[in-house]
Structure 1
Amino acid sequence: MPKKKILIRIGSLRHGGAEKVLVTFLKNLPSDRYEVDLLLNLYSGKYLPEVPDWINVIYLNKGEMITTNRIQDIPKKAIRVIYQKSLNQFPSLLYNGKLKNKKYDIEFAAIHGMRDEILNSPLQSSKKIVWIHNDLSQVKGYTHDEIRKFFGFDKILVISEKIEQLFYKTAKNESEKHKIIKIYNPLDTEEILQKAEKSIDDYSFDSSVPTFVSVGTVFPQKGFDRLLKVHQRLIDEGLKHRILIIGDGYDFENIKKLKSELGIDETATMLGFTDNPYPYFKSADFYILSSRYEGFPTVLFEAITLKKKIIATDVSGVEEMLNNGELGMIVDNSEEGIYSGMKQALLHPDTFLQYKEALNNYLMPFNLKNSVQKITRILDEL
């Protein structure tokens, strides 16, 4: 039986949740059944080395992501933007050139931002799939009409009940509803547990002071500004604790500057990106999710795997992941909510024992093998 030819598109393989999930999926995809071209807008990102050798990586531009408007960066940034916009406007240039007139069976948008690139493909015969990782009702610019455009795909993969319900409400008929398929993100539990045993060299935990760890790409979405403001407020109230933020992103310098302006450089640390955050998870007293919005925060899957005491804002996927508050504390999606959760943890840590006990008896429904099998079944049936 001939291998199915698949084109997968994503911006880059930077240190984000969707990128990590995609690479985990590719590492578990059977190479004897598929021929995969992975097309990146930018050949960049920490997860590039993890892409299996049999995956053919193609890119439009090479180099690091340009997140500033420094004068010396503007020409390179402009060239990249013009080049990518030209290919979007005249997709046949891309398919006849970079993609060498290849006829794909399936074209796959690995994130919602690749919607138009895949739907505007000149290949009329290919089946088209999109993977939605965010609650688009919370993402700027995604009106009802914009979300409706996703029904141009043959299959819409969603990662949480909340996103599933959003698309069900947007669907006009049963045919469109059949396009929507909920699949939990494929993440490797065994890998998380193994990596958590590694030693830490660049950060020391103080057992006498509670530490809250938070991991994520440093974007406004993640709410690290709220977390730091709450941290300062609690410190001012005399509640000693430490904050450790792990991750990088275009908002990193802004959050770092805010940390200094708040006068909390001694008690809050921004570690930057690490390809193994799990020893920090393991050593911290609490995991805190301060996000303004999410799709299905895979970082909570990691915190659950490591049996951490969790505080999370009430964003998409959190109730589902924390079993309606059985496995961790769900707080209001606001600065005040984060404050109340952290204050409870500091003043009454015993209240978190109920979550710890529930986690110890919890059987994880988010199974790597099941998720990969479900996606490959879709690929095979299209």
Structure 2
Amino acid sequence: MKNVLIASFDMEVGGVERSLVSLLNNFDYKSHQVDLMLYSHTGDFMNLIPKYPNLLAELKPYKTFRMTIGQTIKSGKLLLGLARLRAKYEASKTTSGEAGYRQMQYMWKYSLPFLPKLEKKYDIAISYLWPHYFVAEKVQATKKIAWIHTDFSTVDTDRKLDIQIWEKFNHIIAVSEECRNAFIKKYPTLENNVLVMENITSPDLVRSLADEKVNNPMLQDSRFKLITVARLSHAKGIDNAVRALKLLKDKGYQDIVWYVVGYGGDEELIRTMICENDLTDSFILLGKKLNPYPYMKAADLYIQPSRYEGKAVTVTEAQILSKSVIITNYSTARSQVKNGIDGYITELSAKGIAVGIEKLYENFELRNKLANNCKNTDYSNSFELEKLYKTILENRRAYNDKCSSSSL
């Protein structure tokens, strides 16, 4: 049995967490003893963790990373609170990029002296969510692996700090080929360390969950229904979705309605935009849903209006449900769909999204072609895990060779 650690933050509803659930449900537990380290035992997906991995106890200092600075100090973690204040100050010196990425890096960097280590030593330690400081600095393992879920060429990070951490990993796993290419464009010295392993999908589970009975207003809506499942954030481009729908309404497409399943920090901004554009009855936020698939199933089109992605789990899940999908032309889009075959790639702008929706709305034959091609595609890919097992096996062979040499 090989000892494996998988570390992530929590199990709140999100694409990374959904892919982690699929990974855990398909893992080979006959050959691997798996410990799961979650910094916080919170989130609606906690109940979806299978029984086989051993869920380690929370380490309270790590749980503070999703608290405010004030809450951290009140909880008795004064030094961690001060480290957070320093991180906030350092991040404030830069104004480029989406807020928060550098602050997360600095938060980990300055908190490290006050964070506990894991005592157990592992054959393989997997850091499933950036920033990867915990596995890099606080875990003993013969081999370490870090996951990439996003397009790193588009986010503003402290590159020097990032490289210091990435270099502590034997392998870096990207969720698509284009995700890998974007990563090595930013970090060319790490090219030989980066492998590709797609997110594990479970088509039978997705289709089964799509048939669950939920309180779904889409079923009584006779309009042409669009659906997006995503965080309400700058990265996911929900603001551009609102603008795109406004453009369509202004062109006379009054029978189109856009539903969004998700939550996030941009909710107030999005609601304000909806009101300002007089879209209250046609751009509808459904909020957080543990099971988004019945809503996907009820839609006529799935739209991913993102500014950047690694490889969106929700797009593949929509394809599993035989939906026509439209995605924006973010840099990794070609790894997500075959344009004109099993999806449609449109310009990354509000206008581009509107043009794409209009095209598929008007062209039933194309819409039907995309859906049928998805229906006839096998999206099961648990075989992707063999790539991970191979790295573990190589690690064991190297260890055995080293022991054999030492005994001579």
Give TM class, smaller chain: 0.7 to 0.9
Runs of at least 5 residues in structure 1 that lack an aligned partner in the other structure? none
1:84-106, CA deviations, whole angstroms, 9 ceiling, x for partnerless residues?
85994227x512xxx3x222222
Q: Is 1:284 the counterpart of 2:294 in the alignment?
A: no
C-alpha contact 1:212 1:242 (8 A) present in aligned 2: yes
Residue 218 (structure 1) shift: 1.9
1:215 is aligned to: 229
2:326 is aligned to: 311
2:112 is aligned to: 89
Q: Is 1:132 the counterpart of 2:148 in the alignment?
A: yes
Residue 9 (structure 1) shift: 1.9
Q: Structure 2 length normalisation: TM-score?
A: 0.80
Residue 136 (structure 1) shift: 0.4
Residue 212 (structure 1) shift: 0.3
Q: Secondary structure at the match of 2:252?
A: coil
Letter in 2 for 1:121: K
C-alpha contact 1:137 1:143 (8 A) present in aligned 2: no
1:25 is aligned to: 23
1:120 is aligned to: 137
The 1:74–1:306 alpha-carbon spacing in structure 2 relative to 1, beyond 3 Å, is farther
Letter in 2 for 1:288: I
| 1:111 aligned residue (119, 129, 138) | 129
1:59 is aligned to: 58
1:40-79, CA deviations, whole angstroms, 9 ceiling, x for partnerless residues?
222211111111234223323498996889x889846986
Residue 208 (structure 1) shift: 3.7
1:102 is aligned to: 120
What's the C-alpha RMSD, in Å, of the aligned pairs? 3.1
Aligned equivalents of 2:42, 2:238: Cα separation in 1: 24
Aligned equivalents of 1:117, 1:212: Cα separation in 2: 40
Aligned equivalents of 2:293, 2:64: Cα separation in 1: 25
C-alpha contact 2:108 2:133 (8 A) present in aligned 1: no
C-alpha contact 2:9 2:39 (8 A) present in aligned 1: yes
The 1:225–1:147 alpha-carbon spacing in structure 2 relative to 1, beyond 3 Å, is farther
Residue 301 (structure 1) shift: 0.7
Residue 33 (structure 1) shift: 2.7
Q: Is 1:193 the counterpart of 2:191 in the alignment?
A: no
Letter in 2 for 1:58: A
1:379 is aligned to: 392
Identity between Structure 1 and Structure 2 (%): 26
Q: Secondary structure at the match of 1:221?
A: coil
1:237 is aligned to: 251
Aligned equivalents of 2:339, 2:78: Cα separation in 1: 48
For residues 148-159 of structure 1, what are the structure 2 equivalents within 5 Å? 149-159=165-175
Q: Is 1:370 the counterpart of 2:372 in the alignment?
A: no
Runs of at least 5 residues in structure 2 that lack an aligned partner in the other structure? 84-106, 396-408
Q: Secondary structure at the match of 2:33?
A: strand
